[in-house]
Amino acid sequence: MYLIVGLGNPDAKYQNTFHNVGFRCVDEFCRLCDAKFDKGECRAITAHTRINGEKVIIAKPITYMNLSGESIWELVLKYKIPVGNLVVCYDDADLPIGNLRIRTKGSGGTHNGMKNVVHCLKTEDVVRMRVGIGHDGDMREYVLAQISQQDNQTLQPTIELCAKALMEFCSGTPIEKVMGQFNKR
């Protein structure tokens, strides 16, 4: 069983912001595997599907970004998900816009949502797919600002690449091979 989580903020006003890139990644993943977000559980909106016979739960926490780990922890406990079968997708201002960086462990860095995930799970050994958004000026204003059409055109192929990497991982491909194939600069 796999748990795939996108980080973001639930309100409509955040829909087209950099901080909701994680939500966009799991939306694209759902499109690829023909899953629908149709269930509310563990303070998240979830979709359930199967890939190569394995159950896959896809989640968008509704706890707001900085408390995302609380929802993820509840889902991990409820479904007894091994941490190695959890992937968290999120925006990363420390990477240039349009980069995709997949890692198997690390701190939350400058990302408060991922810091909360690491804190709640009590481990840095969490697979993460970081989509570069770059940054300009005040970080809080930047991540919550509406994304320009030009930046969306740069981000969309990376979001699609992230969804393909998730599909590969949930199909049983070892994460090291997924990293080698999909890490993009």
Both tokens of 90, joined, read 């999120």
Q: Establish whether 111 is a catalytic residue.
A: no
Q: 35 CB contacts (<8 Å, ≥6 apart)?
A: 29, 47, 48, 49, 56, 58
Candidate list 19, 48, 111, 135, residue with the active-site label: 19
Residues 95, 184 contacting (CB under 8 angstroms): no
Residue 135 DSSP one-character state: -
DSSP 62-80: SS-GGGHHHHHHHHHHHHT
34 backbone dihedrals φ, ψ, rounded to 5°: 55, 45
Q: Which residues are 181's β-sheet partners?
A: none
Residues 71/43, Cβ–Cβ less than 8 Å: yes
Catalytic residues: 19
